[in-house]
Structure 1
């Protein structure tokens, strides 16, 4: 199963191949995607992305996780989140969202077992 391509990205909008409608923020993994609703885990820009935010993608068995911090990189990613992800054996890259999506798409097109969580505003 391949990771779906993110076909477009603009402020507040991400379209993922195979998804019925665009997302504001999203989670993607081999074979699927869904909206990333910060209210599910109480996420805010600070302290930022929690392990609970990425666990669903990790549970899909990815080898590499990309985290998009937003267009202006306002979303924080605490070192503790990165450490907990890497402790599971999954590589993680934290980038500005446009760069993260470009890297994700490049890897997905190459057949990598990649997933991501992406914030499309600030």
Structure 2
């Protein structure tokens, strides 16, 4: 199963093609995507991404996870998240959201089992 491409990202919107739609924030993985609702896990800009945010992407078989921290990089990614991801046999890459989408698409087009979490505002 391939990871869907991201067609476009801009402030407040990310468009996933193939297995998705347009979302404010989203999660993507090999074969699918959905809205990333921070309320599900209590995620806030600080302390940031939670292990529960990442788990769904790992469960869908991603071996590399890209996190887009927002257009102004306000979303924090605690060091514990990298430990959590690597303990599940995957790699973590963290970028400003537009750069994260570029890296995600590069890996997805190369056939990688890539997943991601993308925050599209601050």
Q: Which TM-score applies when normalising by structure 2? A: 0.97
- CA drift of 1:62 comes to 1.1
CA RMSD of aligned residues (A): 1.0
- CA drift of 1:69 comes to 0.4
CA distance in 1, matches of 2:6, 2:20: 13
- CA drift of 1:21 comes to 3.6
Partner of 1:100: 100
CA distance in 1, matches of 2:9, 2:82: 24
- CA drift of 1:18 comes to 2.8
CA distance in 1, matches of 2:54, 2:69: 13
- CA drift of 1:20 comes to 5.7
Partner of 2:86: 86
CA distance in 1, matches of 2:84, 2:35: 23
- Residue ranges of structure 1 left out of the alignment (5+ in a row): none
Change in CA separation of 1:46 and 1:90 when aligned onto 2, cut-off 3 Å: same
Change in CA separation of 1:11 and 1:111 when aligned onto 2, cut-off 3 Å: same
Matched position secondary structure for 1:121? coil
CA distance in 2, matches of 1:38, 1:107: 25
Q: Which TM-score applies when normalising by structure 1? A: 0.97
Partner of 1:62: 62
Partner of 2:39: 39
Offset from partner CA, 1:35-74 (integer Å, 9 cap, x none): 0000000100000001000100000111100011000000
- CA drift of 1:87 comes to 1.3
Partner of 2:13: 13
- Residue ranges of structure 2 left out of the alignment (5+ in a row): none
